[in-house]
Structure 1
Amino acid sequence: MNSKELKAEFDKYLVPLGFNKKNLTWVKTEIEISQIVNLQKSSFNNQYYLNEGYNLVNAKNDSFHIQILSSSKYNASKEYSLIDILNLDNQIAKKEREEEIENLIKNFIVPNLERLKSESDLKEYLVNLKVQNHIPVFIKEYFKIK
């Protein structure tokens, strides 16, 4: 699979859900927040990283990304990790990689996005995080998280 085919796989599932694509980023704007799915290309090889982020419509700052889907939480299959699937240098058969990407999007990305559609959903998620060090200060202030 090449980079163009990888992007096409994400397009296939995210665009029908109302996401608009620009380069390696898909954005869907809800009433209070914009949901962001981003593929980040490694500078060193053909590895991609998956970012999920949010932009608060009423906040004055830029978007922020929270690593909701980490490679440690995602178990694509018994054979492949998230890192494996998004490393296009790995010799995974195209059909197999497509199935893993479909699983990733349908069973992990979309459910995360479905449960975080408003400011109150996002605040509840952030407040309940065990470790909050990675939450940007402006978001903690906006939501009055201590």
Structure 2
Amino acid sequence: MENSIRYILKWKKTELLNLLNNIFLPLGFKRKGNSWVLNGNEINKIINLQKSQYGNVYYLHYNYVINSLPLNNRKVHIDNQLGSIDKEEQAMIQGLLDLESDIDTADRLIKLFEVINKKIVPELNQYRRKMICYKSLKDVSSYIQYLHTY
């Protein structure tokens, strides 16, 4: 019985990893174990699936490293985790990432796909736009500073 439970949980994790591959690989991310990495000129984006030490509960982190800033003994500059301030939505997300919950696998994958595409993917694109704006402002600021020296 215990072997069949382990098999089911392993199968559910494989399905979860396949879902994340289907979301992040087309966006240019490369998979490394339980992480997906997209290295850019200004910013690196890292998605990490972390297993809880208590059961088969997972957490989905999406992190950023800004290449122009030192890390100062940190792994990332900005660390986010899939979640919600809305209590009901947060409970739903936690249930979806708890592979021992009684949620049908197909329903779990569909809902996770929707939540990730609603919450994480737009933010990943937003950070790219913010970095482009930041770089443009930095260039303009340098140019204005240059003009003031003459």
TM-score scaled by length of structure 1: 0.71
Q: What corresponds to 2:139 in structure 1?
A: none
What is the CA–CA distance in structure 1 between the aligned matches of 2:97 and 2:133, rounded to whole Å? 27
Which runs of structure 1 show a deviation greater than 6 angstroms over 4 or more consecutive aligned residues?
none
1:60 deviation in Å? 2.7
The correspondence of residues 1-146 of structure 1 with structure 2, limited to 5 A, is 2-61=12-71, 62-67=75-80, 69-72=82-85, 81-117=92-128, 120=131
Confirm or deny: 8 A CA contact 1:32 1:118 kept in the other structure. no
What is the CA–CA distance in structure 2 between the aligned matches of 1:5 and 1:119, rounded to whole Å? 33
Bigger proportion of residues as helix: 2
Cα distance, 1:122–1:116 mapped onto 2, change above 3 Å = farther
Task: Give the percent of matched residue pairs that are identical in Structure 1 and Structure 2.
Answer: 27
Cα distance, 1:8–1:48 mapped onto 2, change above 3 Å = same
1:75 deviation in Å? 6.3
Superposition RMSD in Å? 2.6
Q: What corresponds to 2:3 in structure 1?
A: none
What is the CA–CA distance in structure 2 between the aligned matches of 1:122 and 1:85, rounded to whole Å? 35
What is the CA–CA distance in structure 1 between the aligned matches of 2:65 and 2:87, rounded to whole Å? 24
Structure 2: segments with no counterpart, 5+ residues: 1-10, 135-150
Structure 1: segments with no counterpart, 5+ residues: 124-146
2:42 partner amino acid: E
State the number of aligned residues: 121
